[in-house]
Amino acid sequence: MTQLKQQVNQNEYILEVENVKKYFPIKKGVFSKQVRAVKAVDDVSFQMRKGETLGIVGESGCGKSTMARLIIRLLEATDGVIKLEGKDLTTLSKEEMRSTRRDIQMVFQDPYASLNPRWTVERTLLEPMRVYNIGTRSERKERVIDLLNKVGLDSSYAKRHPHEFSGGQRQRIGIARALVLNPKLIIADEPVSALDISVQAQVINLMQDLQEQYNLTYMFITHDLSVCEHISDRVAVMYLGKIVELAKKDQLFSNPLHPYTLALISAAPEVNSPVKKERIVLKGDVPSPAKPPKGCAFHTRCPSCMDICKVEAPTLNEKEPGQFVACHLYQ
Amino acid sequence: MNSNILEVNKLKTTFFSRKTPFNAVDEISFHVAKGETLGIVGESGCGKSVTSLSIMGLVKPPGKVSGDEIKYNGINLLELSKREMRKLRGNEISMIFQEPMTSLNPVYNVGDQIGESLKVHKNLKGKERKEKVVDLLKQVGIPRAEEIYYNYPHQLSGGMRQRIMIAIAMACDPKLIIADEPTTALDVTIQAQILELMKELQAKKGMSMILITHDLGVVSEVCDRLVVMYAGKIVETGAVKDVLSSPSHPYTKGLLASLPKKGHKEKRLNYIPGQVPAPINWGKGCRFSDRCPYVMSKCHTDIPLLTKVKDGQESACWLTVEEGRRAPNDTIEATS
């Protein structure tokens, strides 16, 4: 696995996100005049290499799901460039996007809501191939059986409906559906958050096995730091629409730089932590993205806030090799 | 003098909704000592929420609570009339629910909702009641309490709403609080605030607490003792530090091994194969038997009872009952 990654040219990115913004307008009055905007994603840039897993962590409302939707273009970006293997997705026509979308697939959080309850598993898995006109009928059916086996389900399950499955099994079907078209990038939006611990471990293992087998690239969105640490190669921490820290997993968890990352790591309750750690409890709530604070968005809750933080927003700079942080402490 | 505020003996809650009635909670017994926090953990469907509703007398038909007794301060709650139960509920025993948005009333301001139990139980009126409510809001760490008093739930954030829920539960200075997944819907940094607040208030008022959760991390930080449930039964109980550092039941072991660990480099996670059986498939024997790596023939036919492993720690496993030992120490192997 690691060997494979090294073989790939270091500069060859599968996904490049440059200065992407998504503002949702807030309209008021008779003429729907735009009064403000919710800056759900505000000037975010990152790259992903083939075969890697980028974890995106952050609290609710930080823009992580919006980011996913922008990449797959379920939402149109207000500004910025999203490139898949060098091709700019934001300028494609709807028709072109539809044919490109087969390269990016998504696994959703809630396996109960994201499968059609009236369709059999077989139909759910056949649909993408039918849409893209892949293979003959019998080839498609073979592929369904093959995929079911790959995700650890019995091939006899093909004729069943979603309600006949448990949460973990449904998530396996969701993963199989994402794999049908051999995508280049899989975006998994909280894929294990709705599952019980023992089942969660099964699904994470499955995702890692499949990644190894097919050299898949994952963008793994989660709010659970321990899951993120387990599965990711690199991690981006988001707060109020911006990336505040982006680093290799080991760097981020052993030496977090941004005060928010620090607080997030210390806030996660741990089983049997060997040392009773000094917990940083952040004051207050996450501010509304419609009215983000001036300067650094985190300054209202930051334990090491300085004067400059209240006026000027910090930029994302490389502090250590491979570790980027947006904080005035390190500028 | 009895030091236990709550004693539950062979509690059984049956639901008659299917052709064959099933016991969501099946003859479980535990106690809560004064001033202690008991954690009840388990995966979805193991009966932990039904346990709390049974104690509160909130199980609705087709559910029915039977069992020997639920003793609160020496009073058997199962023998109380509806009216007597109403006097206790919200006054001496109160509850904090998981989803503060659905458990708060959207059309009343939060001040009135907190004041309601003061009106009913303490007969406080007018200015006196308002003062007490504002004081409660301050105690749960709400800024600008006089203003927030007139706010409606939708105007508040998730963390604030959960603070309101806590204020409601605390209003009459209850002796026992049952918190059902109080922080599950919250973000980690907010969860840390709420847990901190609950610990602080509990220490200050000397309340007892039952904390129901699926998060072993939360249990490890907040609770004194722990009850692990699986498929309607208690499989292990003991002091938190004993159970989490040296679990005895194979299920507890597997659960702990499934957690992704900080700083560990292993590529694969351990997991428990299979899934929680549906109540109709519970069978006669140990309900964990079809997922257990140490299963013996006896496990399929007879249910093991809770048996002492060491002082205060009990496990319901034939390994313990028959041979007086814990499940072997090699954690459940990762098999694919």
Task: Please tell me the distance in Å from A93's CA to the nearest CA on chain B.
Answer: 38
The model's pLDDT over B203-232, given as tens digits with 9 standing for 90+, comes to 888 899 999 998 888 898 889 999 999 988
Q: Which residues of B touch A263 (CB under 8 A)?
A: 189
Partner-chain contact A205 B221, CB within 8 Å: no
**Residue A155: pLDDT band with limits 50, 70, 90:** confident
Partner-chain contact A267 B189, CB within 8 Å: yes
Instruction: Determine what percent of chain A is predicted with pLDDT higher than 90.
Output: 51
**Residue B335: pLDDT band with limits 50, 70, 90:** very low
Q: A229 touching B, CB under 8 A?
A: yes
Q: A200 touching B, CB under 8 A?
A: yes
Residue of A nearest to B193 (CA): A281
**Mean pLDDT value across residues B102-106:** 88
Give pLDDT, residue B272: 85
Cα distances from A44 to residues A169, A233, A301, A326, B213, in angstroms, run 35, 19, 21, 12, 36
How many CA within 13 A on the CB side of residue A327? 26
The more confident residue out of B197 and B279 is B197
pLDDT at A264 over 60: yes
The chain-wide mean pLDDT, for chain A, equals: 88
Cα distances from B196 to residues A323, B210, B227, in angstroms, run 32, 16, 22
In chain A, where are the structural domains located?
Answer: 2-232
pLDDT at B263 over 70: no
pLDDT at A320 over 50: yes
Note the pTM of the prediction, 2 decimals. Answer: 0.84
Give pLDDT, residue B327: 65
**Residue B158: pLDDT band with limits 50, 70, 90:** confident
Give pLDDT, residue B298: 86
pLDDT at A282 over 50: yes
**Residue B234: pLDDT band with limits 50, 70, 90:** very high
Integer Cα distance of A309 and A305 in angstroms: 6
pLDDT at A274 over 90: no
**Residue A7: pLDDT band with limits 50, 70, 90:** very low
Give pLDDT, residue A16: 93
- Which residues, other chains included, contact B81 with Cβ-Cβ below 8 Å and sequence gap of 6+? none
CATH of the domain spanning A2-232, picked from 3.40.50.300, 3.40.190.10, 3.40.720.10, 3.20.20.70: 3.40.50.300
* Beta-sheet strands, E only, within A101-160: 104-107
Q: Topology of domain B4-223, per CATH?
A: Rossmann fold (3.40.50)
Q: B184 touching A, CB under 8 A?
A: no
Instruction: Determine what percent of chain B is predicted with pLDDT higher than 70.
Output: 94
The model's pLDDT over A53-94, given as tens digits with 9 standing for 90+, comes to 999 998 888 888 899 999 999 999 999 999 999 889 999 998
Strands A317-320, B176-180: parallel, antiparallel or unpaired by DSSP? unpaired
Give pLDDT, residue A126: 94
Matching residue, tokens 């194979």: B250
Of A247, A243, A255, A229, nearest in space to A318 by CA: A247
Give pLDDT, residue A5: 45
- Whether omega for the bond prior to residue A303 falls within 30 degrees of 0, making it cis, is no
Nearest to B214 among A60, A196, A253 (CB): A196
Partner-chain contact B336 A264, CB within 8 Å: no
Nearest to A208 among B244, B268, B276 (CB): B268
3-state secondary structure of A57: strand
pLDDT at A1 over 50: no
Cα distances from B249 to residues A185, A197, B41, B244, in angstroms, run 41, 16, 14, 11
Q: How many contacts (CB atoms, under 8 Å) link A and B?
A: 116
pLDDT at B309 over 90: no
* Tokens representing residue B301 in the block: 């036919």
Strands B233-239, B225-230: parallel, antiparallel or unpaired by DSSP? antiparallel
Partner-chain contact B262 A166, CB within 8 Å: no
In chain B, where are the structural domains located?
Answer: 4-223, 246-323
**Mean pLDDT value across residues A179-190:** 92
Query: What residues 26-55 of chain B have any CB closer than 8 A to a CB of chain A?
Result: 43-44
pLDDT at A9 over 60: no
pLDDT at A243 over 90: yes
Helix (H) or strand (E) holding B226: strand B225-230
